[in-house]
Amino acid sequence: MSENLTAVVNDALTANSSDNLLEIKNLKKYFPITAGLLRRTVGHVKAVDDVSFTLKAGETLGIVGESGCGKSTMGRMVMRVLEPTDGSIIFDGQDITKLEGKELRRIRPKFQMVFQDPYASLNPKMAVEEIIAEPLVVNKAATRKQAIERVSHLLERVGLRGEDRLRYPHEFSGGQRQRIGIARALALNPKLIVADEAVSALDVSIQSQILNLMVDLKKEFNLSYIFISHNLAVVRHISDRVGVMYLGHLVEFSGKADLYNHPLHPYTEALLSAAPEPKRENRRERIILQGDVPSPANPPKGCPFHTRCPKVMDVCRSQRPALREVSPGHLVACHLY
Amino acid sequence: MSTNISTTTEAGVTVRAGRPSKSPTRMALERFMYNKMAIASSVILLLIVIMSLAAPLLTHQSPTVQDLAHTDAPPGNGHLLGTDTSGMDLFARDLYGGRIDLLIGFMDMLIVMVISMVLGGVAGYYGGWVDSVVMRVCDFMFNFPFLLLIIILSAILNSTSVWVLIGVIGLTAWPGMTRLIRGLFLNLRDSEFVLASKMAGAGPMRIIFRHMIPSVMGTLVVQATFLFAGLIASEAALAVIGFGVTPPTPSWGDVLSNAMGYFQLATEPYAWVPPAALITITILCINFIGDGLRDAFDPSFQV
């Protein structure tokens, strides 16, 4: 019930505001495959191939796809920790694709990341206070006293106690560590947070706590999220719009309700049919895909999904379908539509 | 779906209040103090160091003056452990020799650690072609005949002073450590907390000095102790084959090599047992300390 309501509210919000926080245009990342003594390039792994989408301010965009589909690579390019091969990233009206050094560091506070592994993402040698205050210290955004106050405030906002700032990461559980990671991401009041599998490493009971925390924080801090996950239920819970990736391509992109209730792309259909559904009447017929995901180093010609598609046609084998809007707000890359 | 599960249920419940929080370094120190073997080794090593430094207080004999009236003599006549074939006091040479061995071991450890931290650090942090160049130089040095270099140098210089020996060992012993540090840095470079620091806007200097070096410090300290032990052994080995420090400068390896004749080994244990024992005990102690440090820096190791 409340889910439907927020969807309606969000639709209304996004309809009114035309300003996009983030625009991704034809983003590509090809990793070279080298061989021999001279490291000759003999091919490319096309991790992300020609992906475009927009993110409106205040929106949560979910990106789903199986392992190796390029969703994390895309998230890291948006965060500018990985150089795109081609394409552009326009953040808050500014093209940040080519920013370097000091200029890049100046804009970094506006987009932050929450990592997958709450154990690897916190430096075990640093106290929580140092970890959360690092963005403030690096950007000279606060005096020592202000930084301590800010850290205590943030810890309380994420559901820990201000006194916990003097403890070390090893004294916290996985869920608590993830809260610390979120507090660090919030330290500089970012506009965008990319959460790359942010709850995948946590127990199911803790996952919902962290998701709800993120929903609460979004309102409080006026955040936008790109939520990357392989977990359809998690993405459904938190997202306003959802993009489905397959083999480096965005194959379907739509509002949440539309995508989950009326999936268009055969891959999305298969993906949704594989997700466990508690209500018997809601269960779909299980679509079992044949074969494996092709290697991104040697992707099939035409539609990337044609090798496994149950509805494959001749045209699919030769021509790659473009991502087109087939109904308002519902984009799909498939020759069927 | 209820979106209002309280986000504070988990809040600090498992973290007890009032208990002072221990830093990882402090915990490592505590774990080390629990290791009896490491503590005993530290005490023994300290005694050996004091013994070498305080040599003039422990014997009135000079390690380099020849007592030509008593050459190759058994203990007696004011020579606690007798004299060698040149009439030099063995006890004094054993004591003073420690200075040379420990100096070579310690200085070379420093040299190797500095070279390796710089080269391995740069290679591991920047990767790419920088890494390739450093690693190829490493490969070259690995295969470089270290013994040949010493032989050629001692032939050219007509003597091997302590500092020449330190220089030669130091400049040839670094590839292994460099590789190790490069590997550690390469791993860390892609770790999520380094990425997080980068996301916060930190520059390379901050990442290297605040994140990477503190993270590898434990491993480095442990490896440095093993290196120290290995370097003392290599000094002794060089001396035994005749390419150690030039006589009459005393070193344990030199004393040992002078007593390596079949006749001396059989009849003059006072000449070769003390230096051999000192070398062995020193290396053992350093290795035990290294083991203790390794356990201390391993967070999964509980006392």
Contact A212, A219 (CB under 8 A): no
> Do B7 and A135 count as a contact with CB atoms less than 8 A apart?
no
Query: Which stretches of chain B sit within 8 Å of chain A by CB?
Result: 1-5, 7-12, 14-15, 17, 21-25, 191-193, 195-203, 206, 211, 214-215, 299
Secondary structure of residue A305 in the 3-state scheme:
coil
Q: A285 vs A246, A263, A269, A282, A313, CA distance in Å?
A: 21, 13, 10, 10, 22
Please check whether residue A232 is in contact with residue A300, taking contact to mean a CB–CB distance below 8 angstroms. no
Confidence of residue A10 (pLDDT cuts 50, 70, 90): very low
- For the stretch A317-326, pLDDT in tens is 888 898 888 8
Q: Is the pLDDT of residue A123 over 60?
A: yes
| Torsion-angle region of A318 (φ positive above 0: left; ψ -120 to 50: alpha; else: beta) | alpha
**Per-domain residue ranges of chain B:** 38-296
Q: Tokens 């990767």 appear where?
A: B127
Q: Give B12's pLDDT tier (boundaries 50, 70, 90).
A: very low
d(CA A196, CA A186): 15
Closest CB to B192: pick one of A121, A209, A237.
A121
Residues B232, B236, B237, B239, CA torsion sign:
positive
Q: Which of B2, B4, B7 to mutate to test the interface with A (most CBs of A within 10 A)?
A: B7
Count of H-run helices and E-run strands, chain A: 11, 12
Please tell me the predicted confidence (pLDDT) of residue A151: 92
Interchain contact, A81 vs B21, CB within 8 Å: no
pLDDT per position as a tens digit, B214-257: 888 888 888 898 898 889 888 888 888 878 887 788 888 888 88
Residue B22 has pLDDT above 80, yes or no: no
- What pLDDT sits at residue B20? 56
The CATH fold of domain B38-296: MetI-like fold (1.10.3720)
Beta-carbon neighbour count of residue A207 at 10 Å?
Answer: 20
CB atoms B215 and A125 under 8 Å = yes
> What average pLDDT score do residues B43-49 get?
94
Above 50 in pLDDT, residue B11?
A: no
C-alpha dihedral (B219, B221, B225, B228), degrees to nearest 10: 110
The whole-angstrom separation of Cα A109 and Cα A142 is 13
The pLDDT mean for chain B works out to 82
B14 to A161: CB separation less than 8 angstroms, yes or no: no
Residue B47 in this model has a pLDDT that exceeds 50: yes
Residues 6 or more apart whose Cβ sits within 8 Å of residue A179: A158, A159, A160, A210, A213, B10
Query: pLDDT by residue (tens digit) across B256-267?
Result: 888 887 877 878
* B11 vs A139, A161, A188: nearest CB: A161
Structure confidence by residue, pLDDT tens digits, A250-295: 999 999 898 988 899 999 988 888 877 777 777 777 888 887 888 8
Q: In the numeric block, which tokens belong to residue A148?
A: 């301590």
Look at B15 and A167 and tell me if their CB atoms are within 8 Å: yes
Q: What is the structure's pLDDT at A239? A: 92
- Which tens digits make up the pLDDT trace of B110-139? 999 999 988 988 898 888 888 999 999 999
pLDDT value of residue B13: 42
* Inter-residue contact A91 to A110 (CB < 8 Å): yes
Q: Do B14 and A173 touch (CB under 8 A)?
A: yes
Per-residue pLDDT band for A242 (boundaries 50, 70, 90) equals very high
What is the rounded CA–CA span in Å between residue A269 and residue A307? 16
**A37-46, A296-305, B231-240: least confident range:** A37-46
- List, as one string, the DSSP characters of A111-152: EEEE-S-TTTSS-TTS-HHHHHHHHHHHTT-S-HHHHHHHHH
Answer whether A124 sits within 8 Å of B24, measured CB to CB: yes
Residue range A102-110: average pLDDT? 86
The 8-class DSSP code of residue A301 comes to S
Mean pLDDT for all residues in chain A: 85
All residues of chain A having their beta carbon less than 8 Å from the beta carbon of residue B299 are 124, 170
